[in-house]
Chains A and B, each alone.
Chain A
Amino acid sequence: MIKFKINDKEVQARSGWTVLETARQYGIEIPTLCFHESVASSGACRLCMVELREENWSKLVASCIYPVSEGINVYTETERVQNVRRWIFEMLLSECPSSKEVKEMAKKYGVFKTRFPVQNPNESCMLCGLCTRVCEEVVGLSAIATLDRGVHKKVGAPFLRPTEVCVACGCCVTICPTNAMRSRIDSVRSNTKMQLAKAA
């Protein structure tokens, strides 16, 4: 057993657990967006940041991918952590301003608007990659992926055209934390029978 502290509370974990998993086991909530139990964590959204303190030195880590180790001191709601989360929410509000879920979470941290430029006010996708991960890891296909790079990055099927690879299981819609996949799935799934009729 590995012993360490979360918010000054003594906790025990086994090797291989992450800080987030241990915290949840002890009922300590850490906010997450890009984390889902069914797929491997990717540490993309950085919302689950926690502070690791050692005497007068400290650092911030993403708890969903940070493995536990003996004697660490984790703090989940310090001023530094909250400050970072506020920044992340501001960035998310500029990235996906139309997402109701993100707005509500941001509100809890007192973030109502963003100082960053908003590219597309109707965007609700925050590019966390849960949909692409679930497609690959759970469904066993890779019908969707992130396309392009940098500010042009988006989620979709190759060439943004409906693909026969997609079996239309809807896992990406269910897992999407911001409801963005709902408007996208129709540009991914294809109706095989319709295609056959067209080919005829």
Chain B
Amino acid sequence: MESNARVGVFICKCGDKIEPFIDLNLLQDKLLKDQNINYCEIMPYSCLKPGIENIYSKVINQKLNRVIIAGCESRLMLKKLEKELEPLDLKKGQIDIVNIRGHVASVSDISSAMKADKSAKLIKASAAEMVSLAPTIQSLARIEGPVMILGSGFASYTAAHELINNGFDCLLPSEIIESDFIINNLHLKYPGEYVYYDKLKLIRKELSTSKHVSAIPPGELIRLSGVTGDYKLTFSENDSGKEKSYKAGAIIACIDSDLKATDAEFWYDGQKVICQTEIEEIIQNKGIQEGKVVFWVNDYEAGYPEFSNLSSKSAWSMAKHIRELHNRVEVIILYNEQMQIPLSAEERSIGRKLGILWLPYDKEVRPSIQEGYITVCNIKDHVEYDISWDYMVLSPERKLYGNTLKTAQILGLVHKDGHFLAGRHVRVRPEMVGREEMYLAGSGKYPCNLNDALAQGYKAGKKTSEMLQKSKACELYLPRIVCAVDPQKCVGCGMCQELCDCGGIGAIEGTGGGLPRIVDPMICTGGGTCAASCPYHALILQNNTTDQREARIAALSRELSGSEVIGIACAWGGLPAADNAGAKGLKYDPRLHILGVPCVGQLDPCIFARAFLEGAPGLILIGCNPDECHHSYGIDHAGSRVTIIKKLLTMCGFDRRRIALAHADLNKPEEFIRTIESFTKTIEALGPIERNSINISKLESIYGLVKDNTRIRHLLCANLRRPWEHSYKGEPRHALEYDRDFSDALTEELLNTRVLRLLRLYNRPTMLQELSSNLMVDKKKVGERIWDMVNEGRVQYTHKDSEPMFIAHA
């Protein structure tokens, strides 16, 4: 706990929105009695200029370093206050807004004194959290050194061009810059993009003569380590097979998807029935002087209707090229009637002048190819007609495989079979992340035309340059709420790395197993499910730690009376739903006390256990809908953590309904209200947990177990799954079987914890009979556990009158 924290609370009257509903003077009295709060003031509008100027001067006069504003929605107001109070060195986490307007004042009809009471509980909880906050220093991100452009995609040219124009060094694969070979094979990746050959060649020339560009000899990427600003990439060289490493400050991945000819399903033979990439080779090599070329845009039939636009655009571009060179060649483009022709009015008119025929066919009848003819069904009269051809051109199949895929996987880009390298799932405010997970450009990301790929390359180059420029000017700061590893505690189990979906966790380089992990603070999105699952508490979410959350929930739980409950609401689902319910003046059960968190997935299960230990009768977690978690799988992981508490509650004889996980949509405040009404009803029926010594000892054991028992924490962590995963590699277990084993382990460890707790309390040799009667557990069961612990060395024993006596190991 930080002793020098000085907390100031500013209560906002908010015109006619708060003052008439809450007895603010009573609230102020209550708050001033709290030991954590040093200063408290009521003001008309804390968020307008006069109010902010007042807070500013009070922070200086009263030497405050924590500010709590009791007002409205922190989602809307926090940013303004953080910005206005920035000169006072109040960093993120040192300012908090408690929404007494939307969570207390407007949502129920209880008396203004009771509302003051409820507000005081929420504000005191916030103050408790603030006091336990140990703010980190604001550190600069240093990103220097060259930018590595990997993957040999065509976007490399624009990305590198943009970087050298901004005066930054880059490392490029030698095949990209040393000859025009790659450019001459442009059609293999992007058929029909004639206009770009010259432009790309010009850029290549410029790159090859630039002093900012260095070439990497041809090789294959085999390893990547380090964090943003300090990467180490190891290649195995093609010629010698030797390993060579390069340092880079940033990486841009330019990856193009591969185009493959469709198989025999579409009568492909490689001679006359060919793929778009092959017709372009024919046009370039010997040209087509006469005959009839039929392009069949067969993407619908091949099962990729989403790419039909791309295929038809390149077909059109090639058709145009053929007609411009030789007007004796006849060109027809056949397309499924469901497709829209992706041409502008101008292009259509050019097409008409050149006599390129677009011919739709009936979607119900699949065209068939014979020697020299293709049979298609006319959409107007439903008659099948034969169209003759000399060259039959099919759409390519777009895929990622081979070396390109391997490189992408080493770079940590998400790829599942048959998918492209689409982005990750995290959807948060831009200020919460240091940079994009990976600057990625090209059709490997998602099939696109060359224009888009080059634009993506340009954008990646521009963003990287901006980042480097900011770093150079010492203006690039690391985000405040990101994970950090304590290397002293980390055993290198790698659980966090498996769970992390930001791709921000890696291992420190070295040989041997058990390497400590390291977090890339520029990539970490602060989701924190990794931190919540670390069996050793080695990973913490800076400025938003488990200790802080525990302090807050403990402070609130201590104050709760009767069947008042806590609702932990996630910032993307539950909290906006609650805010919206408040802002729209909807009413709900006043017994619900809402605490906002960035994601319910970042809550360590010991926080839940602490709430019950401190006297909360019920706890509900209100997160996003499962498919809409903004931190990938936070809500799924929270589910597993709730389950362990449910299991433990049941094992200890409490009702498992005291903790619940719910889902809310920000736009459905009415449904949010139904959720909490049903939960408060459940808890009302159950009543509070009786605070007798046996119950408290049980709750203490639950808390100790989930907080400190590494075996259970390991098992829980291994149980956290992503929704699509049925099992982890190497352990194809039946989920229910795993769960049974998990429950057995829990029963064992729970009893262990209870026995140990009692032994430590007695701190004297104790007989089995006494332990068993005190715990109210069968003597045989206690005996089993205690002898196990004797074997493990956690308990020592002596004899008295030939009866064993046990004592906890120091």
Residues on A close to B: CB < 8 A?
13-14, 16-18, 21-22, 24-27, 29, 36-39, 134, 137-141, 167-171, 173-175, 179, 182, 185-186, 191-194, 196, 199-200
Contacts and interface: CB of A to CB of B under 8 A. Distances in A.
A140 B45 contact: no
B210 to A, nearest CB: 34
Given A170-B576, A170-B666, A175 B627 contact: no
Interface stretch (B194-202, B383-391, B415-423, B526-534): B415-423
Greatest chain B CB density within 10 A among A38, A140, A179 is at A38
A108 B534 CA distance: 58
Contacts of B16: 29
Contacts of A200: 416, 418-419
Nearest to B625: A191
A173 B666 contact: yes
Contacts of A137: 79
Contact of B50 (A21, A38, A194): A21
Nearest to A36: B76
A191 B572 CA distance: 13
B667 A174 contact: no
B49 interface: yes
A192 B50 CA distance: 42
B701 to A, nearest CB: 39
A167 B431 contact: no
In order of increasing CB-CB distance, the 6 nearest A-B pairs are A170-B666, A170-B576, A37-B47, A25-B50, A38-B76, A167-B427
Contacts of A139: 429
Interface centre among B306, B419, B430, B584, by most chain A C-beta atoms within 10 angstroms, is B584
B667 A173 contact: yes
A21 B48 contact: yes
Contact of A199 (B77, B428, B446, B584): B446
Given A140-B430, A167-B630, A174-B576, A27 B44 contact: yes
29 contacts: A21-B45, A21-B49, A21-B50, A22-B50, A24-B15, A24-B44, A25-B44, A25-B48, A26-B44, A29-B16, A37-B45, A37-B48, A38-B47, A138-B79, A140-B431, A167-B630, A168-B666, A169-B571, A169-B572, A169-B576, A169-B666, A170-B572, A170-B576, A173-B666, A174-B580, A174-B583, A179-B584, A186-B667, A194-B627
B50 A191 contact: no
Given A24-B15, A179-B584, A196-B422, A38 B428 contact: no
Contacts of B572: 168-170
B76 A174 contact: yes
B76 A170 contact: no
Contacts of A17: 49-50
A186 B420 CA distance: 26
Interface in B1-23: 15-16
Contacts of B580: 170, 173-174
Given A168-B628, A191-B627, A29 B431 contact: no
Contact of B428 (A27, A167, A175, A191): A167
Contacts of B667: 170, 173, 182, 185-186
Contact of B48 (A24, A29, A175): A24
A175 B50 contact: no
Given A25-B44, A141-B429, A168-B572, A175 B666 contact: no
Given A37-B80, A169-B429, A169-B571, 14 more contacts: A21-B49, A25-B50, A29-B15, A38-B47, A38-B76, A134-B76, A140-B429, A167-B630, A169-B75, A169-B572, A173-B666, A174-B579, A196-B425, A199-B419
Contacts of A175: 76
Contacts of A134: 76
B520 interface: no
Nearest to A22: B50
Contacts of A174: 73, 75-76, 576, 579-580, 583
Nearest to A199: B422
B430 A16 contact: no
Given A21-B49, A24-B45, A169-B429, A38 B79 contact: yes
A175 B584 CA distance: 10
B287 interface: no
A48 to B, nearest CB: 13
A13 B75 CA distance: 29
A193 B425 contact: yes
A64 B776 CA distance: 69
Contacts of A39: 80
Contacts of B77: 37-38
Given A37-B77, A38-B79, A173 B576 contact: yes
B542 to A, nearest CB: 21
Contacts of B584: 179
Nearest to B79: A138
Nearest to A24: B45
A168 B571 CA distance: 11
A22 B51 CA distance: 10
A25 B51 contact: yes
B53 interface: yes
Contacts of B583: 174
Interface in B69-89: 73, 75-77, 79-80
Contacts of B75: 169-171, 174
Contacts of B306: 199
A168 B668 CA distance: 13
A196 B666 CA distance: 22
A191 B666 contact: no
A162 to B, nearest CB: 13
Residue among A140, A168, A200 facing the most chain B CB atoms (10 A cut-off): A168
Nearest to B420: A199
A115 B627 CA distance: 47
Contacts of B73: 174
Contacts of A37: 45, 47-48, 77, 80
A193 B627 contact: yes
A16 B76 contact: no
B636 to A, nearest CB: 12
A14 B79 CA distance: 23
Nearest to A186: B667
Contacts of A36: 76
Contacts of B428: 167
Question: Interface centre among B50, B306, B418, B628, by most A CB within 10 Å?
Answer: B50
A168 B422 CA distance: 19
A194 B73 CA distance: 29
Interface string B261-296: 000000000000000000000000000000000000
Contacts of B47: 37-38
A16 B84 CA distance: 14
A173 B581 CA distance: 11
B692 to A, nearest CB: 44
Contacts of A138: 76, 79-80
Given A24-B48, A167-B427, A38 B80 contact: yes
A163 to B, nearest CB: 12
Contacts of B429: 139-141, 167, 169
Contacts of A38: 47, 76-77, 79-80
A125 to B, nearest CB: 15
B50 A13 contact: yes
Counting chain B CB atoms within 10 Å of each CB, the highest count among A14, A134, A171 belongs to A171
A199 B584 CA distance: 37
Interface string B417-450: 0111011010111110000000000000010000
A18 B48 CA distance: 10
B29 to A, nearest CB: 22
A193 to B, nearest CB: 5
Contacts of A199: 306, 419-420, 422, 446
Contact of B53 (A14, A18, A182, A185): A14
A22 B49 CA distance: 9
A29 B419 CA distance: 58
Contacts of A21: 45, 48-50
A3 to B, nearest CB: 15
A107 B628 CA distance: 41
